[in-house]
Amino acid sequence: MKQVKIFAGSASGALAESIAVAYGTTLGELTLQRFADNEMGPSFDESVRGCEVFLVQSTFPPAEHLMELMLMVDAAKRASAHKVVIVMPYMGYARQDRKDKPRVSIGAKVVANIIQSVGTDRLMTCDLHAGQIQGFFDIPVDHLDGATVLAPYIRSLNLENLIFASPDVGGVVRTRAFAKKFGAEIVVCDKMRVRANEIASMQVIGDVKGMNVVFVDDMIDTAGTICKAAELVMERGALSVRAVVTHPLLSGPAHDRIRASCLTELITTDTIPQRQENEKVRVISLAPLFAQAIRNVVTHESISSLFV
């Protein structure tokens, strides 16, 4: 069996270290050199010749995180690594997954092309914005399910009259899959945007009176949608409202909105490190899930067995 080495990019150091510990090893030594103008050049401080190399890096903004990761892949390939696997807990630019109006880019496809162009052998990620993004790749993609670690926490709350909610029509499939684990029903919030991150109107499709509502989504950015939806379901008679979100971007006024909202708590993961403390935000680590996925890849076992 090839030797396994795990390395961390600068965006995901804490998560990568937790993954390495859960796997039963330590992080490999990597130096990120920076020039005076901030141009960077990663270099491995130990041999990776003939090894299966796993590079852990989420690619949330700035885009420099993606560039750093691509340089790491190139360095590993040039150092004669047997295989180079990207472990990308959060894939940036995945929201741009289709051409929904004239003269726009498809960012997810551009990122997929870049990842493959440097010689990546495999991609491991979690809760893509849209599952069909896997089709943009011509290499194996291991698409992990964040619900594997998030659902047990919701179950531990022992909530009665539980119902799950999608904050928009596009998230219905994801919400239904989560609700199926509990044998629960779902409701949908139908929203109309005037522009990105700005909602014009919203309405609830379904009955939430007397229910404990849990919103399910893949990411939370400025928290405008979730907080407005939470307020709306409480007005419709809900007993409580929580949100389960895999990727906590939490940009701009997000933390202030969450603190001031009627959300009991926001349950999320560590795919993106938190920039500030928030008593309403509970973070559950994905490190054990990624560590087991890496182990299964190395031993050629099933990945789907981790969450099916």
CATH number for the domain including 173?
3.40.50.2020
Structure confidence at residue 193 (pLDDT):
58
pLDDT, tens digit, 9 for 90 and up, residues 241-260:
999 999 999 999 999 999 99
Judged by DSSP in three states, 24 sits in: coil
Structure confidence at residue 202 (pLDDT):
81
Cβ partners under 8 Å of residue 222, min gap 6: 197, 251, 252, 253, 254, 257
Quick one: tokens of 10?
């600068």
pLDDT, tens digit, 9 for 90 and up, residues 67-99:
999 999 999 999 999 999 999 999 999 999 999
Quick one: tokens of 306?
């981790």
Domain range holding 175?
Answer: 147-284
Tell me, yes or no, whether 202 and 246 share the same domain.
Answer: yes
Q: How would residue 196 be classed by pLDDT, with cut points 50, 70 and 90? A: low
For the chain, give the mean pLDDT. 94
**What's the total number of domains in the chain?**
2
d(CA 241, CA 72): 42
pLDDT(227) > 80: yes
Tell me, yes or no, whether 222 and 293 share the same domain.
Answer: no
Tell me, yes or no, whether 197 and 137 share the same domain.
Answer: no
Determine what percent of the chain falls in helix, strand and coil, rounding each to the nearest 5.
Answer: 30, 25, 40
pLDDT(211) > 90: yes
Tell me, yes or no, whether 75 and 163 share the same domain.
Answer: no
Tell me, yes or no, whether 159 and 110 share the same domain.
Answer: no
Q: Could you tell me if 155 and 182 are in contact, meaning their C-beta atoms sit under 8 angstroms apart?
A: yes
Tell me, yes or no, whether 43 and 135 share the same domain.
Answer: yes
The percent of residues above 70 in pLDDT, for the chain, comes to 96
Tell me, yes or no, whether 20 and 96 share the same domain.
Answer: yes
- The residues that bridge with 88 in the sheet, in sequence order, are 125
Tell me, yes or no, whether 135 and 159 share the same domain.
Answer: no
**Residues carrying an active site annotation:** 191
Mean pLDDT for 222-235 is: 93
Quick one: tokens of 87?
């472990």
Residue 242: phi, psi to the nearest 5? -130, 170
Q: Could you tell me if 96 and 107 are in contact, meaning their C-beta atoms sit under 8 angstroms apart?
A: yes
Mean pLDDT for 173-183 is: 95
pLDDT, tens digit, 9 for 90 and up, residues 118-172:
999 999 999 999 999 999 999 999 999 999 999 999 999 999 999 999 998 889 9
Structure confidence at residue 194 (pLDDT):
57
Nearest-5° Cα angle at 88, 267 to 284 = 20
Tell me, yes or no, whether 125 and 251 share the same domain.
Answer: no
Mean pLDDT for 196-212 is: 80
pLDDT, tens digit, 9 for 90 and up, residues 2-57:
899 999 999 999 999 999 999 999 999 999 999 999 999 999 999 999 999 999 99
Tell me, yes or no, whether 39 and 153 share the same domain.
Answer: no
Q: Can you count the helices (H) and strands (E) in the chain? A: 8, 14
Alpha helices in the chain (DSSP H): 13-23, 64-78, 107-117, 147-156, 172-180, 224-235, 254-260, 287-298
d(CA 20, CA 129): 26
Structure confidence at residue 2 (pLDDT):
84
Structure confidence at residue 126 (pLDDT):
97
Structure confidence at residue 118 (pLDDT):
97
Tell me, yes or no, whether 41 and 131 share the same domain.
Answer: yes
d(CA 57, CA 88): 5
d(CA 137, CA 91): 13
pLDDT, tens digit, 9 for 90 and up, residues 278-301:
999 999 999 999 999 999 999 999
Tell me, yes or no, whether 155 and 129 share the same domain.
Answer: no
